[in-house]
Structure 1
Amino acid sequence: MALGKILWVDDEIESLQSQILFLQNKGYEVSALTNGFDAVDFVRDNIVDVVLLDETMPGITGLETIAKIKEVNQHVPIVMITKNETENLMDEAIGSQITDYLIKPVNPNQVLLSLKKIIDNKRLVAEKTTTAYQQQFRNLFMALNSSPDYNEWMEIYKKLVYWELEMEKSDSPEMQEVFQSQKSEANNEFFKFISRNYAKWVGPKSVEGPVMSHTLFKYKVMPHVEKGVPTFFLLIDNLRFDQWKAIQPIFAESFRILEEESFYSILPTATQYARNAIFSGLLPMDIEKAYPQQWKNDDEEGGKNLFEEEFFRGQLKRMKRDDVRFSYTKILNNQAGQDLVNNIHNLLNNDLNIIVYNFVDMLSHARTEMEVLKELAGDEISYRSVTKSWFEHSPLHQALKKIADKKINIVLATDHGSVRVKTPAKVIGDKQTTTNLRYKHGRNLNYEQKEVLAFRDPKEAGLPVPTVNSSFIFAKEDLFLCYPNNYNYYVNYYRNTFQHGGVSLEEMIVPVIKMTNK
């Protein structure tokens, strides 16, 4: 089977016979023509992988031929070959969306390299990716088994995300499988690590621990807030580290990325807990004490995230930073996004601008039970792709582009990530038990101990006690918690959806990124 089908168009094709033979010997199928008209007809009637095209030919020129070929087949790669080195011809050719540009006389290896780049690129990259991961596999395996601390876990997760993104280039199902099992093993070890250490990090006597939701502003945001240079704190709801990597190139077009770090979301990795902790600078247990009217438990009526601005005012006060002039904007729908685009310049007068963007809530379309998401984002690759597409066309991106030329600081973060759930786990509880799929609290909960991290006393996890004798449980890895009644229906309905609230690398280790103008 030929490596690729090449069409070579040149009015002096006779003089290129040795080159054509060279390519045929390398395994390419080459068809030769002497003018643009015939080339357009040939592309219309035949499969062509690459067109090699002379610029100066009688009849119609190379540039005119390109335009006509693109009308017939917009995606066929074209390599322009010309004696003419003038810059404006190069500009015109590149503007006509050629794939490569070669100057005559060309030697056979130049042409071969160009074809390899175009046709074999995917295969070569896939092979190299697979080999490189095989070499890294052992290092990752050793890192997992050397009792990593919380900093090393952040590094391990970063590496896993890197390889997950690299694996998209590999078409080897075997390697994908090896990677998935390594990621699953990592999540299993991470669950044990969190089970051993979480209470120490958030307990009343905690001295050691990573930056977490309730200390994010203290360590990662407020040190950057200075008079005279506005800081924008962007919180994109439910953004995993791999989703950040998907939108990073779009940010990099307008801003300089200074630090790419991560922090730990508190448990439950759910908006109501993690986001309130970020803005109040307190653990949920302490928020309830300080703001008994505003704090709502899962089973209580009323909005759970209505007081973030008030909580943040309190945090500034405790930090003795009341002098900071700040704005708080929450975007729950497209209209609010458009208002931000129109108002963004006015925010430059503040020291700090907080923008909370409820991306996933909008994506799941006012919670149409995730059906839209199931279609659009059935796996990690498509989830990243949807995120990228959303951000590229979002009002948030438009607004930021409007101030990209101003001297500003940006800190981008999220409240928690999400995990694709695959494995059901049975939980039995009384009527008061909450309905969340990745965590539950209630009295008399019945569950398999090895499947969850349980806190019989919620205070140990820095959490309020919703009712007397309530305990909290958090699902591990890719589990989702189901009741026995209607069990099969729920299992089929929720399997392979993205959920949050539990213990996994994807939910707990989340991005915090520092950027500035270029």
Structure 2
Amino acid sequence: MATAKIVWVDDEIESLQSHKMFLQNKGYEVSTFTNGFDAIDFIKEEAVDVVLLDETMPGITGLETLAKIKEIKQSLPIVLITKNETENLMDEAIGSQISDYLIKPVNPNQVLLSLKKLIDNKRLVAEKTTTAYQQQFRNLFMALNSNPDHNEWMDIYKKLVYWELEMEKSDSPEMREVLQSQKSEANTEFFKFVSRNYAKWVNPKSDDAPVMSNNLLQFKVLPHVEKGVPTFFILIDNLRFDQWKAIQPIFSESFRILEEDTFYSILPTATQYARNAIFAGLMPIEIEKQFPNLWKNDEEEGGKNMAEEDFFKAQLKRLKKDDLKVSYTKILNNQAGQDLVNNIHNLMGNDLNVIVYNFVDMLSHARTEMEVLKELAGDEMSYRSVTKSWFEHSPLHQALKKIADKKINLILATDHGSVRVKSPAKVIGDKQTTTNLRYKHGRNLNYEPKDVLAFRDPKEAGLPVPTVNSSFIFAREDGFLCYPNNYNYYVNYYKNTFQHGGVSLEEMIVPVIKMTSK
């Protein structure tokens, strides 16, 4: 590690020689000055890591020196050393962006601690993260290989997300790589797990199924609705668990988080299936049966999620909850978002307010903007960062802040997640085959069985049969389905983009978060 360079400015620097030697013995390079002017000239010319600055000096004071140093190198950490403990000095110094302050007389160890905190903090955190993950690696590896059930899978995925976020603090590309390969191994096992169990879960008689889209409201939302306290059920389209973790700190400022839970999105992990199932409280095959005029299959014209409110009211009626006073708001563009901000107080008289927010639709508005999205969200880390930045400045955040001081309950969920696709798989179909990249249905599908989870009879997966002899296939892990014609063009165009519809931890295990006002 390179030697850290310290500048120490004090008009009585002679009396600090023992401190200087102490720091030099600890491996720091220390340059000393008796006045602010000389120090400023030196800092202009030299690379410096930290400045130790005496506050009371003749000629030019510590605070004046501080201001001039900040003009030259704004991000240089400065530690103010002062005899003066008055509060207004502290306020002024902290307002001037000092990184730390010490009260005279200073002890050499105190100085060392301050330097360690400023210089080594990042490195120490990174090292600690790496070591902790190395210890956890074995536990995760064992968990993956011990035939986990659907609850244990949710736990494994949360742990992987936790480490992925922790690794952002570590600058070890090797450890990140190890984590990535562990994550893809987890997805391989998860695909096998879903392939073995999915048909059992969606069988209405199953008693060993996770909470899924079709019973989310029944088990995770309605039990928390109480008369007299408005509950807001907010569904943000296409929000993964790691994206929730990115916006969690913003929610924590205004709300108390009571429960961070996950549930399973049904297949296809696509809006028209998963979200309609949430609001209808039914699998798609049942929705089609009960609402033949409202359900639309992929290839039919018109919007596929136009009837959510009707489905929702029918579900409340079926669960004998139709005495609740409810509202349903869907936000598809910024104007509708602004209307929500202006209107949110009017919702306080209801027992349950549903707000559907099409975040990702706005983010990736059209295929033409795909390139922009690739630039902005080229990997998981930047995808989280874009999500955070979007939420922070979104009308949804403004609207929630307006009611944060009122007594409310808040439940945040999503319809499905997304996965960054990297591995193309060839599929041949006829004219009627759907165009989705992570799932397809059609009559004469030709594919490599190992690349997909296939249901020759869609009913087994709780899905409608769009045309006689139609089968459904779902891409696994990070695969995406391409036709042979124009194959290379499509592979390059879609590689590394975020897609949904198939089987992966990121698409299927998604957040449902319970909060209340502080």
The alignment's TM-score, normalised by the length of structure 2, stands at 0.98
Q: Does 1:488 align with 2:485?
A: no
Q: Which moved more, 1:4-13 or 1:400-409?
A: 4-13
> Which residue pairs with 1:131 in the alignment?
131
Q: For each residue in 1:8-33, what CA deviation from the matched residue of structure 2 results, as whole angstroms up to 9, or x when unmatched? A: 11111111122112222222222212
The equivalent of 1:4 in structure 2 is 4
2:40, 2:150 → 1: CA distance? Answer: 61
User: Deviations for 1:60-109, whole angstroms, at most 9, x for unmatched residues?
Assistant: 32223222222222211111111112222222222222111211111111
Corresponding letter in the other structure for 2:397: H
Residue type of the alignment partner of 1:130: T
Partner of 1:69: 69
In 1, Cα distance between the equivalents of 2:500 and 2:223? 30
Q: Residue 369 of structure 1: CA displacement? A: 4.6
CA offset digits 1:377-433 (Å, max 9, x no partner): 100011111111111111111111111111010000000000000100011111111
Q: What is the one-letter code of the residue matched to 1:158? A: K
Q: Which residue of 2 aligns with 1:196?
A: 196
Quote how far apart the aligned CAs of 1:186 are: 0.4
Q: Given the superposition, is the C-alpha separation of residues 327 and 42 from structure 1 closer, same or farther in structure 2, using an over 3 Å criterion?
A: farther
Q: Would you say the 8 A contact 1:5–1:30 is kept in 2?
A: yes
What's the counterpart of residue 446 of structure 1? Answer: 446
Instruction: Give the distance between the partners of 2:357 and 2:44, measured in 1 at CA.
Output: 47
Report the 3-state secondary structure (helix = DSSP H, G, I; strand = E; otherwise coil) of the residue aligned with 2:76. Answer: coil
- Between the aligned partners of 1:3 and 1:319, the Cα distance in structure 2 is 68
State how many pairs are aligned. 518
**What is the rounded CA distance, in whole Å, between the counterparts of 1:137 and 1:379 in structure 2?**
23
Aligned to 1:60: 60
For residues 253 and 261 of structure 2, what CA distance do their matches in structure 1 show?
19
Structure-2 residue corresponding to 1:182? 182
Letter paired with 2:200: K
* Kept after mapping to 2: 8 A contact 1:2/1:29: no
Q: Does 1:46 align with 2:46?
A: yes
**Residues 2 and 68 of structure 1, relative CA distance in 2, 3 Å threshold:** same
2:66 is paired with a residue whose SS is helix
Map of 2:148 onto structure 1: 148
Q: Equivalents in 2 of 1:59, 1:228: separation in Å?
A: 67
Counterparts of 1:54-133 in structure 2, within 5 Å, are 54-133=54-133
1:10–1:54 Cα contact (<8 Å) kept = yes
- Of 484-493 and 368-377, deviating more is 368-377
Whether 1:501 and 2:498 are equivalent positions in the alignment is no
- 1:219 counterpart = 2:251: no
SS for the counterpart of 2:53 is: strand
8 Å contact from structure 1 (residues 365, 372) kept in 2: no
- Displacement of 1:253 after TM fit? 0.9
> How far is 1:54 from its partner?
1.2
CA contact (8 A) 1:421 1:495 kept: yes
Q: Distance in 2 between the 1:82 and 1:220 partners?
A: 56
What CA distance in whole angstroms lies between the structure 2 residues aligned with 1:174 and 1:201?
Answer: 38
Where 2:368 maps in the other structure, the secondary structure is coil
Equivalent-residue separation in structure 2 for 1:118 and 1:242 (angstroms)? 29
Distance across 1 between alignment mates of 2:338 and 2:38: 51
2:277 maps to a residue whose letter is A
Match of 1:169 in 2: 169
Aligned-pair distance for 1:122? 1.3
The residue type paired with residue 59 of structure 1 is: G
Q: Partners of 1:369 and 1:389 in 2: how far apart? A: 18
Cα distance in structure 1, aligned partners of 2:129 and 2:371: 34
Residue 432 of structure 1 corresponds to 432
After superposition, where does 1:112-511 map in structure 2 within 5 Å?
Answer: 112-511=112-511
Counterpart amino acid of 2:205?
K
Q: Which moved more, 1:261-270 or 1:340-349?
A: 340-349
User: What does the per-residue CA deviation read over 1:263-322, in whole Å, with 9 as the maximum and x for residues that have no partner?
Assistant: 000000001110111111111111111111111111111001111111101111001111
Residue identity over aligned pairs, in percent, reads 86
How many angstroms apart in 2 are the aligned matches of 1:9 and 1:447? Answer: 72
On the 8 A contact 1:214/1:283 being kept in 2, the answer is yes
Residue 368 of structure 1 aligns to a residue in which SS? helix
Runs of 5+ unmatched residues, structure 1: none
Answer yes or no: is the 8 Å Cα contact 1:421–1:498 preserved in 2.
Answer: yes
CA distance in 2, matches of 1:12, 1:514: 58
Shift of 1:46: 2.4
Give the counterpart letter for 1:120 in structure 2.
D
Equivalences for residues 28-47 of structure 1 within 5 A:
28-47=28-47
What secondary structure, in the 3-state scheme, does the structure 2 residue paired with 1:427 have? strand
Once residues 21 and 509 of structure 2 are traced to their aligned partners in structure 1, the CA distance between those partners, rounded to angstroms, is 56
Change in Cα spacing, 1:35 to 1:164, as seen in structure 2 (3 Å) is same
AA aligned to 1:171 is D
Give the whole-Å Cα distance in 2 for the aligned partners of 1:430 and 1:515: 48
Distance 2:414 2:407 in 1: 23
Q: CA deviation at 1:128?
A: 1.1
CA displacement, residues 203-239 of structure 1 (integer Å, 9 cap, x when unaligned) = 2432221110010100111111111111111111111
Query: In terms of mean alpha carbon deviation, does 415-424 or 203-212 score higher?
Result: 203-212
SS in 1 for 2:428: coil
Q: CA RMSD in A?
A: 1.2
In structure 2, C-alpha distance between the alignment counterparts of 1:61 and 1:403, rounded to whole Å: 47
Contact between 1:232 and 1:353, CA under 8 Å: does it hold in 2?
yes
**Compared CA separation, residues 328 and 367, structure 1 to 2 (3 A):** farther
How far is 1:43 from its partner? 2.8
